[in-house]
Structure 1
Amino acid sequence: MTEQQERTRAGYDGVVELYASLFGARLEGQPFSRGMVSAFAGLVREAGDVRVADVGCGPGHVTGLLGEMGVEAVGFDLSPGMVEYARRAEPGLRFEVGRMEALPVADGAFGGVLAHYSVIHTPPGEVPALLEELVRVLAPGGLVLVSFFAVEGGGEAVPFAHKVAPAYSWPVERFAALMADAGAEPFARLVHDPRSERGFLDAHLMARRN
């Protein structure tokens, strides 16, 4: 585990209850995010392989939402504290401690992968390998939905001061190109106005494994 990953794990272990109280609702009040997750779940069901990995699942609120939307969701998180909370909050679902960069599952294990704002702490130079790992665990034709903070224009990722651990926002086109390079072709995106004081855009990219 890298120093950045250790820092991120320790940071989230220290704010489990607070984080869950702030973000534990099933995306209530976030219609754009909820809409993209719903579209993702619907397309996964339509494709027939309803196994979905929620990577960076935190307290399990979105994993639970996926379950309500008719897919077989499994949550993975770097933080043991978050996984313990998620198991209590969603006792009917499975949660495991695991790094997004090295998921403890076989190739092609899932019909869908969701990364809901969980890639933001990954240093830009490590994102290509992370995306390749998300594609690795997808079955052929499987879907991946990545949500992240975005900035306008081109260029590279922009670091910002996150309250838990260092984080990065991305130009949407640059991130979409990285997804395509990893073997998942983007086919749907939603970018909308910020909801936080940081002033970033919120971006959601959906792609299909080649």
Structure 2
Amino acid sequence: MDETGGAGREDRLRAAAVFDALGARYEEAFAGSQEHRAALEWLLERLRPGSRVLDVGSGTGRPTAAVLAAAGHDVLGVDFSPVMVELATRRVPGATFRCADIREVPLEDGSYDAVCVFFSLLQMSRAQQSGLVRRLARALRPGGHLVLATVPVDVEDVEAVFMGQPVRVTSFAAEDVVALVREAGLTVLSRRDVMFTPALPEAAPEPHLFVYCRRSP
């Protein structure tokens, strides 16, 4: 087994099917996150002109890839949902999108100025999440930044319903997320714990954790 914890084909297909089904509805439900926008502004303040940015789980391309590409950065979005990649390619022509499993995408050490990981780990096992964060940390150039956002709950392979779609979810408690990032060799500069209510009928507030990190120069 490699350090990604093994990415089973059936797991990938199930996860892709969820977001294929959601399509643009996902963006509509989560577009109102002010903390997501704030995280992008934080990143923009630290990027050199024309920086290379990797957007992991890029979805429809908005807001992450759209905001960064509009600022003149070279953005690669990777998502395993063909529907999401098609939407993103149309909506954000200034960025490049690839339909692939990030766990299997070769990542050259020091090749990116920044990496964004917004809520894209939740359908991976804990071993896969840990292994991927280590790979992403190595993909940063020295002094580069990574912003990771997730739902910080202590659950492992539990059945849930997300926007009407059955999913299996794995995550960590907030302090364990921070520890995971540090163990990957990144310095945690700050964190934000917020509650966010998606724009969905009868949606309840859910905890969101944003962790702001840097690879040591």
Normalised-by-shorter TM-score class: 0.7 to 0.9
Match runs of 1:7-156 below 5 Å: 7-23=14-30, 27=31, 29-45=32-48, 50-61=51-62, 62-151=64-153, 156=154
With normalisation by structure 1, the TM-score equals 0.85
* 2:22 maps to amino acid: V
Per-residue displacement from partner, 1:153-186 (whole Å, max 9, x unpaired)? xxx4454614242223432110111111112121
* 1:101 maps to amino acid: R
* CA 1:89–1:161: 2 relative to 1, 3 Å: same
Q: Does 1:182 align with 2:150?
A: no
* CA 1:205–1:74: 2 relative to 1, 3 Å: same
* 1:161 maps to amino acid: A
User: How far apart, in 2, do the equivalents of 1:124 and 1:180 lie?
Assistant: 15
Structure 2 stretches of 5 or more lacking a match?
A: 1-6
* CA 1:177–1:85: 2 relative to 1, 3 Å: same
SS at match of 2:123: coil
Per-residue displacement from partner, 1:84-132 (whole Å, max 9, x unpaired)? 1111111222111122223244222110000111112112232110111
CA RMSD of aligned residues (A): 2.1
* CA 1:50–1:21: 2 relative to 1, 3 Å: same
Residue-pair matches, total:
200
Any runs of at least 4 consecutive aligned residues in structure 1 with deviations exceeding 4 A, and if so which?
Answer: none
Choose which of 198, 202, 212 in structure 2 pairs with 1:206. 212
More displaced 10-residue stretch of structure 1: 36-45 or 171-180: 36-45
Q: Does 1:192 align with 2:197?
A: no
Give the aligned partner of residue 160 of structure 2.
161
Structure 1 stretches of 5 or more lacking a match?
A: none
User: How far apart, in 2, do the equivalents of 1:135 and 1:71 lie?
Assistant: 19
| Identity level (%) | 26
SS at match of 1:129: helix
* 2:190 maps to amino acid: A
User: How far apart, in 1, do the equivalents of 2:184 and 2:146 lie?
Assistant: 12
- 1:70: how far off? 4.1
User: How far apart, in 1, do the equivalents of 2:135 and 2:99 lie?
Assistant: 16
User: How far apart, in 1, do the equivalents of 2:130 and 2:171 lie?
Assistant: 15
Per-residue displacement from partner, 1:14-38 (whole Å, max 9, x unpaired)? 3224334444xxx4x3222211121
With normalisation by structure 2, the TM-score equals 0.82
* 1:51 maps to amino acid: R
* CA 1:188–1:69: 2 relative to 1, 3 Å: farther
- 1:52: how far off? 0.5
Give the aligned partner of residue 4 of structure 2.
none
